Structure formats: structure tokens, C-alpha cells
Amino acid sequence: MGKYQVKNFDEALVVMRVAGVEPITGPESNHVALARELADELIEQMTLKEKAYMLSGHWNTINGMLHGRVYNYDPIAGGGCKRLGIPPVLFSDGPRGVVMKNATCFPTSNVRAAAFDTEMEEEIGEAIAKECIALGANYFAGVCINLLRHPSWGRAQEAYGEDQFMTGKYGAALTKGLQKYGVISCPKHYYMNSIENLRFSASANADEETLRDVYLYHFEECFKAGAGSVMSAYNKVNGTYCGENKDVFDHLEKLGFEGFSISDFIWGVHDGPESLRAGLDIEMPMTMKRGNKLIKAVQKGELDEKLLDEHCENIIATMLRFQNIYREQKVDKKAVCSKEHRKLALKAMEKGAVLLKNDGCLPIRNFNAKLALVGRFADEKVIGDHGSSMVHPPYIVTPFDGISRRYGNVSLAATNDIDACLDAAKDAEYVIAVLGNDYRDEGEFVANADPKLVVGGDRKSLRLHDDEVALIHALKQSGKPVIVVFYSGSAVITEEWAEDANAILYAGYPGMEGGHALAQILSGRVNPSGKLPFTVAKNELDYPYFPYSEEKDQSVDYGYYHGYALFEKEGIEPEYPFGFGLSYTTFAYSDAAAEDLGDSVRVCVKVENTGEVSGEEAVLVFIGSGISRKPHKLLKGFQRVALKPGEQKEVVIDIPKWDLRLYDREADAMCIPEQVTVYVGRDARDAENMVIQL
């Protein structure tokens, strides 16, 4: 027995509380060291069987079946030791919101990223934490921070876009919001997981420079924010499955991770003892490759019991750091889909919708105007894929619900049938076509014995469906202004129909309040301010290679360049650059300046609203390192500013030099460049017009 002589988990929590330890934000030498010491005292009292139990999930599949086979209807347990009072991990999935029961459905991560507003993302994290607590979960595995390397990826909607800096800042913001209430944040999927159909067999390959600069950067940002856990990915990295890849887990130490790891579900572990040796703490969601296999391996001398102790320590110490604050929360079930959370879901969509084109037909301020609402999604409840991120809100506002409430004269043709749509449009002053993708086109790949019932997976095409393109062409011939609203997890190539649209609005997947948000934007009650968190190409071939075939065990080189960095390197002109987004007003930038403050770079720029309506603008700052093999410039700061007509404000963005680090091959370390170039603008292309040498 150690110096504290704790006999159970509650006694250990008292020691943590008496010591005045901040569960999340205290110095590592204080809260982590003490938690590990207390965890070791508890582990000394555990049996081998209890240790093996601690390292496995305990999903009650029968309970799930009783609720219509709804995934994660209740928390999914893992770890824990009842005899010593050590609580289990009580898992809830995401990231659109809490997957359990009838929780708030927020817009998908790609939409929230388009808002360029990490303060709002932290608010969403707080709301999700409250709903987790109300529904019995202490762990949220919805911090999806895989990079959007290619827009065909089926789960692109769960990601924050193509940029590693932005993804890291968003993941950190969500983590902070969650853990403020003691709910453990779990970034996923660790790492280089951005292929869906072949996720169980494909190998993503990269060298150390690519890993550190591109594919681990955002995980490090979340760990810096204190994320208490991490989920490994299904795929292989450099030829070995993530769940038993020692290099993958060794990187956690380099990134400053203090917490415990879990596997992705069911197929995330192939060899139980080997996964333990590599560094994986908990096999989720149930014992498949561990349990008795670990016990027998120890008894045969094939596995050292001290290794089980080390992994149990990671789990127990993390639970000790979070449980005091978690237990202090006074949240009841009224928090689930509360009015406050629904308003936040509405705000997120209002800020995240991206206006790509507008010839002046928007906004439609005349509420008595005759509108025709057409297209297959005009009255459909479209909130994203039907895989593990599926949220089940008590209601979903469709486009027709929201628009017909705002406007008094709306004809509906919820179909792509051209004749029906033209008939609906014949007396209309404006035609609004709601098109794009849904869970049948993209999302988590859900297989079925009947091929017709297979849903989700990677997108085979980056374009609208043929019948939708034909519909847009036909609507143009009607002579009425045509407004195209489209759903999608990421980029859609628009060149074959964009000229026939008077306005184009990217809606992503808008969440439960999407129809109301759409009406607010179309009417001008809300001025659109979203900006693309990814690059839209003119041609599919402008993106990196993506494996569409069903051939298993494919090996894919995850090169150093993707997204806007690749487009700039290759000199490819995109259709819409990263950060592009229009407004109902106009903004002018002037007097950009940058100053070296020692530990940070301060960037200042004046922004003026030169239009006639109030609006919000996201200012983007990119930094170039001047190192030839590195990208021309990378996003390193952003900030929203609200301006009334004619108003001017100075925007000040301080960029810590920690954020400027790049991998140095010779030093085998992340280093700060000696000289940098600062680019300021509305988007990646516009930023080339305001350049500051520093």
C-alpha cells in the first residue's frame, strides 16, 4: 500500500479534492502525477481478472436490441472495477450531438467549421457535455478530427475540413467545452483515417515529416487542450493496423498525451495481447480479442502482468482527474434538446451556411413573394449519414417547414421530376431547388446482405446527380431566378450547372433547425457569413489519388500536400478557394501590419463594411515559412468581426509561435522558422493581395 493508503476510488477522489487539484487545468506535475500515484495504490488491490476486465468494453447488445437496434441508445460501458468503486467509461458517440435518446442535433462538423468560430464550437461542447451528463455518459467520442484529404471520403461531414490548424483549433475548442463539465473528450480516429469503404484493410502510408506537419498536428492541439482520451483507427498505418501499431502509440508520448486510449469498435483490434504491447488501453465496445485471452497470456508467461498494470493506470488516473468535476454537475434531463441548445443549433447553421454565388436575387425580403420550392430534398429531413454519428432529435425542420412559415405563398414539388417542378414554378417569382446528397450517397459505410440496402460509404462522384443537373438546366429555361441549395459533406463540383443558377448556397448537413436557418438566410433576416473549410476544384483530377475500387489491402501514399497547399504547389486554379464565402454586404481590408512580439506574431488589419447591411466577416491569416519543401502558406489564425454598414474595426490576431512550428528532419523535432511571410485576406486566394515580410 502506498503513502495515501486509499482502499477505493472514492477515497482517492477525496485525496485529489483535498490536494486542491484542478481536474483538468492543473499543472501536469500536480494533477497527473498525483492521479497516477493513487491509481497505482488501487491497482495493487486488483486481481488479474479485474485488470483484464478494466482493459475491455462491456456493451450490452441485448439492451440495444430492445430499443429497435438503435446504436448507442444508452451509454456503452468500458473498463471499471465495481469492487473498488472505479467507475466505467460511459461512452456516447457523436459529433452532431449526443447519439443517445432524443438529443439535440447540431449541424455536422463541416458546417460548424465553415463558421470559423471556435468560441461557438466551445459552446456546442458545453451543450453536448450537459446532454451527456443528463443521459448518463461521462465520455464523448465525437471529437472527429481526421483531415479531409479528399472530398470523396464518406465521412467528410464529420470532419472540420482540409486544414490541420483549423481542425486542431476546433477539436481543442470542443474538448474544452466538454471537459469543463468533466466529460472526457475523445479525439478520433488516430490516425490518417479518411477512407471509408476500405477502412478495415487499407494502409495509409507517410513519412515522419508528413505525419508531424500534417496528420498529427491537430491531435497534438487537442492533447494540449487536455483531451483525456483518444480512439485508434481501423486502418493500417505504414502496413500495420493502428490498434496494434507501436509506432502509432509511441507518437502519443511525442505529442504530450496524458490519458487513455480506446479502440474503434469491434474490428479495431485483431490481436488482443499484441494491441496491449503496442499501447492500446481499452478494447471497445466488448471483449472480442482480450478478456480471457489476456489472462491466459499472463498465466502462460507470454505477457507480463506489469504491462496490464501500466494500462490500467492510464485509465484509472484519467478517471480520477475528471470524476470530481463530473460528479459536481447538477444537470437533469430537461437539458436534453433544451430551448437553449436548439437555439445554438440554429445559430450554428446560420453562421455556417456558405453563399457561393448571388447575382442580386437574394435576399428575398418580400414575404408575400410567390416561391416555388422544388427538388428531392425540398421537404425531406436531411441531417447527415445514418452510421455511428446518427442523432435522433425529437423533430427536424425541413426546408418547406421553415420557408412556408416565413413566406405565405409557397408551392411545393418535393421531387426531381422536371415536369412537376416546372408546374410548381409556373406562377412563382423565385424558384428554390434543394438538391445534393444524403445518407444514401455518403457517410459511414453500412453493409447489408442485400446490396440495395447498403448505405453510406465514399462518394463515387463529386457532382450532383444527373437528374438534378437536368432539373437546374430546365428551371433556368423558365425565366425565373433559380436559387440552388445543396447538401453535401464536402466539395461538389459546380461547373456544369453554376451558370444556370442565380444564387448558390452550400448547406452542408444543417441539423434539426436547418429549415428555419434556411428561411432566415433567404429572407435576409440573417446575412450569410460562412466560408468553405475546403477547396472546391474545377475538375475531380485536381485532387489527390483516392482508392475507389473494392480491392482490399490497398496501400495509399498520404503525401505531404493536399487541399489548398496542393493546389498552390501545382499551380491549379480552384473553382472556389479555401475560405471562400459571399455576403449580402461587402468588406474592404486595409492597413495590414505584423509585429514580432517574441513569443507570438501580432497581425493587425482594418476591415470596413462597405455595403448597406450589417454583416460578419471572418479574417484569415496565413503564414509562409520560406522553406522550399514546405507549403507556400498555411492557415495560422482567423477571427470573426461584426460590422454595421460603414463601420470599420481593427482586427488583431495574435499567433503563438508554437503554432508556427514545422518538422525539421535533421533535428527530428518541431522547430519555429527563423523568418516568416504573413498573408491576410478573406480566403486563400484573396490573401495573396496583402503580404507582409516579417
217-231: per-residue pLDDT in tens? Answer: 999 999 999 999 999
- Across the range 268-286, mean pLDDT stands at 97
**Interacting residues of 575 by C-beta distance below 8 A, sequence separation 6+:** 493, 494, 495, 498, 536, 537, 538
- pLDDT, tens digit, for every residue of 65-83? 566 668 999 999 999 999 9
**Interacting residues of 336 by C-beta distance below 8 A, sequence separation 6+:** 98, 101, 102, 103, 104, 131, 134, 135
| Fold exhibited by the domain 585-693 | Immunoglobulin-like (2.60.40)
Domain with CATH 2.60.40.10 in the chain: 585-693
Of 500, 378, 476, 464, nearest to 422 by C-alpha is 476
Question: C-alpha distances in angstroms, 258 versus 227, 312, 319?
Answer: 8, 13, 12
Coil vs helix vs strand at 431: strand
Task: Please state, in angstroms and rounded to a whole number, the distance separating the CA atoms of residues 539 and 97.
Answer: 34
Q: Cis (ω within 30 of 0) for the bond into 632?
A: no
Question: C-alpha distances in angstroms, 411 versus 67, 426, 433?
Answer: 38, 10, 12
- pLDDT, tens digit, for every residue of 315-331? 999 999 999 999 999 99
- Across the range 411-421, mean pLDDT stands at 98
Given a cut of 70, whether residue 21 has pLDDT beyond it is no
Q: List residues bridging with 602 in a β-sheet.
A: 595, 654
pLDDT bracket for residue 553 (50, 70, 90): confident
Burial class (CB in 10 A: 0-12, 13-18, 19+), 503: buried
* Crossing angle of helices 9-18 and 305-328, rounded to 10°: 60
Q: Parallel, antiparallel, or unpaired: how do β-strands 677-681 and 615-624 relate?
A: antiparallel
Q: Parallel, antiparallel, or unpaired: how do β-strands 648-656 and 677-681 relate?
A: unpaired
- Across the range 89-97, mean pLDDT stands at 98
Start-to-end CA span in the chain (Å):
58
Which of the pair, 468 or 446, is modelled with greater confidence?
468
Do residues 381 and 335 lie in contact, with contact meaning Cβ atoms separated by under 8 Å?
no
**Interacting residues of 636 by C-beta distance below 8 A, sequence separation 6+:** 165, 621, 622, 623, 655, 659, 660
Q: Which amino acid is at 91?
A: F
Q: Which amino acid is at 541?
A: L
Proportion of the chain above pLDDT 90, given as a percent = 93
Given a cut of 80, whether residue 61 has pLDDT beyond it is no
pLDDT bracket for residue 552 (50, 70, 90): confident
Task: Please state, in angstroms and rounded to a whole number, the distance separating the CA atoms of residues 243 and 192.
Answer: 13
Domain with CATH 3.20.20.300 in the chain: 9-331
Q: Which of 26-30, 55-59, 255-259, 332-336 has the lowest mean pLDDT?
A: 26-30
Given a cut of 90, whether residue 448 has pLDDT beyond it is no
pLDDT confidence of residue 214:
98
Other beta carbons within 10 angstroms of residue 80's beta carbon come to: 21
Other beta carbons within 10 angstroms of residue 592's beta carbon come to: 21
Domain with CATH 3.40.50.1700 in the chain: 340-557
Coil vs helix vs strand at 648: strand
pLDDT confidence of residue 333:
94
Q: Does domain 340-557 have CATH number 3.40.50.300?
A: no
Task: Please state, in angstroms and rounded to a whole number, the distance separating the CA atoms of residues 476 and 157.
Answer: 30
Phi (first) and psi of residue 393, to 5 degrees = -70, 160
Do residues 196 and 155 lie in contact, with contact meaning Cβ atoms separated by under 8 Å?
yes
The fourth-level CATH superfamily of domain 9-331 is Glycoside hydrolase, family 3, N-terminal domain (3.20.20.300)
Task: Please state, in angstroms and rounded to a whole number, the distance separating the CA atoms of residues 408 and 616.
Answer: 29
Angle formed at CA 679 by CA 677 and CA 684, multiple of 5 degrees: 130
- pLDDT, tens digit, for every residue of 590-620? 999 999 999 999 999 999 999 999 999 999 9
Task: Please state, in angstroms and rounded to a whole number, the distance separating the CA atoms of residues 21 and 34.
Answer: 9
pLDDT confidence of residue 468:
98
pLDDT confidence of residue 548:
84
Q: List residues bridging with 455 in a β-sheet.
A: 446
- pLDDT, tens digit, for every residue of 115-147? 999 999 999 999 999 999 999 999 999 999 999
Residues in the chain: 694
User: What's the mean pLDDT when you consider all of the chain?
Assistant: 95
Given a cut of 90, whether residue 381 has pLDDT beyond it is yes
pLDDT confidence of residue 50:
98
pLDDT bracket for residue 213 (50, 70, 90): very high
Given a cut of 70, whether residue 235 has pLDDT beyond it is yes
pLDDT bracket for residue 454 (50, 70, 90): confident
pLDDT bracket for residue 25 (50, 70, 90): very low
- Residue linked to cell 487542450: 225
- pLDDT, tens digit, for every residue of 184-194? 999 999 999 99
Other beta carbons within 10 angstroms of residue 452's beta carbon come to: 6
Task: Please state, in angstroms and rounded to a whole number, the distance separating the CA atoms of residues 172 and 159.
Answer: 13
- pLDDT, tens digit, for every residue of 455-466? 899 999 999 999
Given a cut of 70, whether residue 23 has pLDDT beyond it is no
Given a cut of 80, whether residue 680 has pLDDT beyond it is yes
